[in-house]
């Protein structure tokens, strides 16, 4: 008894070994009971529901208030809920929406719209011209704090209203009749009509906004005029829409219920698609693209998209700003074909212009070396790099900033090695969180070369070219060119579409000749769309209204 080990040994090997088995048995029984308990809790089978369209949305939309919405995710849902004066057809053409027809005066300054008398809000009320007057005033009202207030900046007095210098009532938008709306502009704006299909210019119901204040856009409150109405919004999870029976073209809507699932992590979204929980994905992650192309070729939809992926130069940086030859050498040393085919490989097209293809009424200018062979390009890049005063003994020291993402990292590493191979210097790669990078880009103090992308809010070259204007707040390049500014200003006031186009094209030529930016590739939109879904058409805007989709009855 004094020898514990012995005692212990005896008990374990002796009769109580049996009782230990009891212990194990009991523990096992307890465990089983516990698991059964969990299973019992889980036991209820899922209810069989009417077939709903399950769409992935990406990160969660921040609001369903059309005037406050800022992100593409919000805009996607709003396109189903609301309808602007104009809207888009499944193939991305601008067509009549809440207005059945419209005219533009010869000087391009006055737009007249005739609303559909049969258009209704989801509460059954008639949609009238005054609704649009109210909503447009709300958009430019400083009190609304709308991110996209500038959408209407070319409407008469809008700029002064946004700046707080004039009352909202002075906005150049008037209801000349119950169903007739007149908009007066301060200068011709070729793309103005397309702005009236944007979420920021969707109408909101005045009575509901006035009565409910900022909670008007919530489930149970939101009154909308589109093909769908808001059924519920479980934050962080799902936004569910039901058919709006009062919609003027309700007969044209095939699917009764649409559910937008919040999918912040692309790889997790793909799992959900593959598990059958989603009908349409919001994207396809780079690392899984090849696999999806092999396994589900008929479900993979890749299409040109109005967006350019680029590396920008901060021209305030001394070496970059003072040395166009260096910028050209850096740009030429990048093998864009290798980048798009080998590094990313999702059908992206190499970019040799700033404005992407697919923009209406526009022929993008090309970088001077677009047609050169790879060997020619490398040789010229080397020569320019040397002429700019750099060589092996005196290599360039430069930082390349990009925001955290696997794709951006792969591209940055590839570009870094191309620069090393062709020009013989090592760029310093700096990886920053998105908001940090944006803040740095905007400050233009520590950035040198930075990654970013630009997508057009509307289908017009001006949507791309405007950010290089000297005073544009999105000009994060420090690019200042009088010639460029004056070309864009002349284009801006030019009512003749053909002449305007020439000004814009010339402006792009100037921009590219200055090597103020390195376009790398044009984005593509990437979705997985289950083959039982009809009506999906690829388009450059990547807009896919649920009202245009239907289920194949055979499936």
Among residue numbers 195 through 224, which ones bind another protein (CB under 8 A)? 214-218
Alpha helix locations (H) across 388-496? 406-422, 434-443, 462-465, 482-492
Q: Can residue 435 be called a binding residue for another protein (CB under 8 A)?
A: yes
Residues 11-50 contacting another protein, CB under 8 A: 11-12, 15-16, 19-20, 22-24, 26-27, 30-31, 34, 38, 41-47
- In whole angstroms, what is the distance from residue 138 CA to residue 67 CA? 8
Strand bridging mode 533-534 / 517-528: unpaired
* Site pattern 438..457 for another protein (x: CB under 8 A): xxx-x---------xxx--x
Q: Can residue 100 be called a binding residue for another protein (CB under 8 A)?
A: no
Select from 157, 152, 118 the least CA-distant residue to 135. Answer: 152
Task: Indicate the residue among 34 and 178 with the shorter CB distance to another protein.
Answer: 34
Burial (CB < 10 A; 0-12, 13-18, 19+), residue 299, is: buried
CB of 96 to another protein, least distance (A): 28
- In whole angstroms, what is the distance from residue 186 CA to residue 110 CA? 9
Task: Indicate the residue among 117 and 220 with the shorter CB distance to another protein.
Answer: 220
CB of 356 to another protein, least distance (A): 16
Reduced to 3 states, what is the DSSP secondary structure of residue 401? Answer: strand
Residues 157-176 contacting another protein, CB under 8 A: 159, 162-164
Select from 399, 359, 384, 401 the least CA-distant residue to 500. Answer: 359
| Contact pick of 51, 59, 374, 483 for another protein (by CB under 8 A) | 59
Q: How many residues bind another protein (CB under 8 A)?
A: 86
- In whole angstroms, what is the distance from residue 133 CA to residue 225 CA? 15
- In whole angstroms, what is the distance from residue 366 CA to residue 369 CA? 8
CB of 167 to another protein, least distance (A): 15
Sequence-distant (≥ 6) Cβ neighbours of residue 393 within 8 angstroms: none
End-to-end CA distance of the chain: 78
Of 114-122, 235-243, 330-338, 504-512: span binding another protein (CB under 8 A): 235-243
| Contact pick of 271, 397, 470, 552 for another protein (by CB under 8 A) | 271
Of 101-109, 273-281, 422-430, 507-515: span binding another protein (CB under 8 A): 273-281
CB of 432 to another protein, least distance (A): 8
CB of 220 to another protein, least distance (A): 13
- In whole angstroms, what is the distance from residue 368 CA to residue 379 CA? 15
Residues 466-485 contacting another protein, CB under 8 A: 472-474, 476
CB of 511 to another protein, least distance (A): 18
Q: Can residue 496 be called a binding residue for another protein (CB under 8 A)?
A: no
| Contact pick of 7, 413, 428, 493 for another protein (by CB under 8 A) | 7
* Site pattern 246..265 for another protein (x: CB under 8 A): -------------x-xxxxx
Of 91-99, 148-156, 336-344, 481-489: span binding another protein (CB under 8 A): 148-156
- In whole angstroms, what is the distance from residue 413 CA to residue 169 CA? 54
CB of 76 to another protein, least distance (A): 16
CB of 4 to another protein, least distance (A): 5
The number of residues in the chain equals 555
Residues 104-143 contacting another protein, CB under 8 A: 142-143
CB of 410 to another protein, least distance (A): 20
Residues 60-89 contacting another protein, CB under 8 A: 60, 62-63, 65, 68, 70-71
Residues 274-293 contacting another protein, CB under 8 A: 274-277
Token match 């460029």: residue? 484
Long-range contacts made by residues 237-246, C-beta under 8 angstroms, separation at least 24?
237/261, 237/262, 238/262, 239/57, 239/61, 239/64, 239/77, 240/52, 241/77, 241/80, 241/81, 241/546, 244/122, 246/120, 246/121, 246/122, 246/123, 246/124
Task: Indicate the residue among 269 and 538 with the shorter CB distance to another protein.
Answer: 269
Retrieve residue 459's tokens: 């289908």
- In whole angstroms, what is the distance from residue 389 CA to residue 452 CA? 28
């Amino acid at each position: 008894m004094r020898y514990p080990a012995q005692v212990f040994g005896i008990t374990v090997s002796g009769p109580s070994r049996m009782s230990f088995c009891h212990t194990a048995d009991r523990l096992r029984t307890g465990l089983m009971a516990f698991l059964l308990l969990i299973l019992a809790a889980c036991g209820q089978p899922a209810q069989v529901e009417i077939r709903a369209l399950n769409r992935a949305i990406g990160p969660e939309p921040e609001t369903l208030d059309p005037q406050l919405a800022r992100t593409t995710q919000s805009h996607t849902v709003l396109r189903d809920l609301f309808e602007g004066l104009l809207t888009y057809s499944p193939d991305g053409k601008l067509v009549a929406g809440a207005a059945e027809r419209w005219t533009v005066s010869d000087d391009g300054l006055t737009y007249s719209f005739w609303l559909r008398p049969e258009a209704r809000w989801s509460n059954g009320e008639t949609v009238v011209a005054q609704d649009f007057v109210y909503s447009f005033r709300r958009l430019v009202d400083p009190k609304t704090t709308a991110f996209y207030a500038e959408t209407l900046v070319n409407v008469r007095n809008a700029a002064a209203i946004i700046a707080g210098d004039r009352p909202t009532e002075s906005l150049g938008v008037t209801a000349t009749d119950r169903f007739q709306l007149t908009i007066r502009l301060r200068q011709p704006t070729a793309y103005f009509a397309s702005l009236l299909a944007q979420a920021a210019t969707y109408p909101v119901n005045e009575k509901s906004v006035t009565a409910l204040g900022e909670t008007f856009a919530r489930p149970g409150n939101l009154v909308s005029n589109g093909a769908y109405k808001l059924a519920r919004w479980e934050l962080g999870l799902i936004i569910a829409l039901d058919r709006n029976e009062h919609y003027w073209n309700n007969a044209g809507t095939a699917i009764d219920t649409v559910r937008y699932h919040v999918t912040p992590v692309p790889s997790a979204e793909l799992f959900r698609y593959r598990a059958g929980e989603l009908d349409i994905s919001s994207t396809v992650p780079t690392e899984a693209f090849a696999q999806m192309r092999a396994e589900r070729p008929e479900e993979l939809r890749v299409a040109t998209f109005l967006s350019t992926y680029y590396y920008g130069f901060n021209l305030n940086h001394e070496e970059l700003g003072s040395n166009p030859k260096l910028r050209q050498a850096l740009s030429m040393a990048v093998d864009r074909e290798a980048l798009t085919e080998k590094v990313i490989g999702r059908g992206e097209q190499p970019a040799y212009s700033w404005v992407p293809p697919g923009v209406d009424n526009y022929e993008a200018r090309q970088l001077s070396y677009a047609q050169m062979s790879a060997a020619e390009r490398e040789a010229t890049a080397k020569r320019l790099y040397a002429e700019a005063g750099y060589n092996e003994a005196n290599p360039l020291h430069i930082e390349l900033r990009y925001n955290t993402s696997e794709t951006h990292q792969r591209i940055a590493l590839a570009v870094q090695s191309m620069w090393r191979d062709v020009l013989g210097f090592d760029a310093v790669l700096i990886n920053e969180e998105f908001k940090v990078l944006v803040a740095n880009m905007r400050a233009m103090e520590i950035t040198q070369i930075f990654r970013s992308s630009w997508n057009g809010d509307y289908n017009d070259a001006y949507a791309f070219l405007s950010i290089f204007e000297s005073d544009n707040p999105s000009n994060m390049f420090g690019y200042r060119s009088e010639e460029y500014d004056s070309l864009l200003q002349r284009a801006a006031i030019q009512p003749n579409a053909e002449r305007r186009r020439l000004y814009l094209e010339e402006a792009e030529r100037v921009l590219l000749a200055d090597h103020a930016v390195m376009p790398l590739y044009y984005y593509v939109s990437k979705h997985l769309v289950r083959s039982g879904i009809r009506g999906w058409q690829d388009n450059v805007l990547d807009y896919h209204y649920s009202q245009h989709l239907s289920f194949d009855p055979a499936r």
